[in-house]
């Protein structure tokens, strides 16, 4: 049974990796799905392969583009019921010694400001309807500030985590639910930003985008009286201490 029939879903960073897998999983549940990202060509190719998906180009670090995105999705698909905040990036030069104010700003604008802009844009409609679900794809780096993700990435993800937790606490009586999902290592295109390429053996042991999408599907299909504030999902072989 399609548990999300009639629901409108927006997935940012939806052109590949976790975002693309989430779009497919939620589409399979009957949702009306929109995907957003910087590369319109990539979005269009995915929309064509999935069928019946709205593709809208948007740089989430630009609040004007985000407003236009929400307006477009709402006009074409209806008010957004579920927001999957998945857009994110990282750097190869990720140690503190290598960071510059410009690279710091780029990460914070995309990973943290982008999450705020999208939530801020969908929030009024959710509040008016006393209903809505916001799923933030954070990272274990938002729980454990290790050198693996880098200082700036961890700072942006700790901020995104706090944004979700704080909003959930404020709006617990309004019908708006917020879930932070913290994936460990995932085999996605963002791996190209690793300082050193990972081996095929290592790649075989980490999460697939579909694993995270299944977690998103689980959260998204729960009834309105159930809320999961935080969910950590990681490869069995990855340390979590």
Q: Which tokens belong to 124?
A: 């009024």
CA dist 131 and 127 (Å) reads 7
CA dist 47 and 206 (Å) reads 26
Cβ 221 vs Cβ 179: under 8 Å:
no
Name the pairing type of β-strands 230-233 and 176-183: parallel
Q: Which tokens belong to 121?
A: 């844009």
- Mark 197-232 as b/e (b = at least 16 C-beta within 10 Å): eeeeeeeeebbebbbbbebbbebbbeeeeeebebbe
Q: Please give the helix or strand (H or E) that residue 180 lies within, else none.
A: strand 176-183
Q: Kindly give, in sequence order, each residue whose CB lies less than 8 Å from that of residue 43, ignoring residues fewer than 6 positions away.
A: 14, 15, 35, 36, 37, 55, 56, 57
To the query of whether residue 182 is one of the catalytic residues in this protein, the response is no
CA dist 88 and 78 (Å) reads 25
Residues with a known catalytic role:
153
């Amino acid at each position: 049974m399609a548990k999300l029939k009639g629901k409108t879903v927006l997935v940012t960073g939806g052109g590949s990796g976790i975002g693309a897998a989430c779009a497919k999983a939620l589409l399979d549940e009957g949702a009306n799905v929109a995907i957003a990202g910087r590369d319109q060509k990539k979005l269009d190719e995915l929309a064509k392969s999935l069928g019946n998906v709205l593709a809208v180009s948007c740089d989430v670090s630009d609040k004007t583009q985000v407003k236009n995105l929400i307006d477009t999705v709402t006009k074409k698909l209806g008010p957004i019921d579920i927001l999957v905040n998945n857009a994110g990036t990282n750097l190869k030069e990720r140690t503190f010694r290598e960071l510059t104010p410009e690279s710091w700003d780029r990460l914070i604008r995309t990973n943290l400001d982008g999450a705020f802009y999208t939530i801020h844009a969908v929030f009024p409609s959710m509040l008016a309807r006393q209903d809505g679900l916001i799923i933030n794809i954070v990272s274990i780096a938002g729980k454990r500030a290790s050198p693996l993700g880098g200082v700036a990435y961890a700072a942006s993800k700790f901020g995104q985590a706090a944004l979700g937790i704080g909003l959930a606490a404020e709006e617990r009586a309004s019908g708006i639910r917020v879930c932070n999902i913290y994936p460990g290592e995932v085999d996605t295109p963002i791996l190209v930003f690793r300082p050193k390429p990972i081996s095929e053996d290592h790649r075989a042991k980490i999460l697939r985008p579909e694993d995270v999408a299944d977690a998103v599907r689980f959260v998204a299909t729960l009834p309105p009286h159930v809320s999961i504030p935080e969910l950590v999902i990681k490869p069995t072989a990855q340390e979590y201490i």
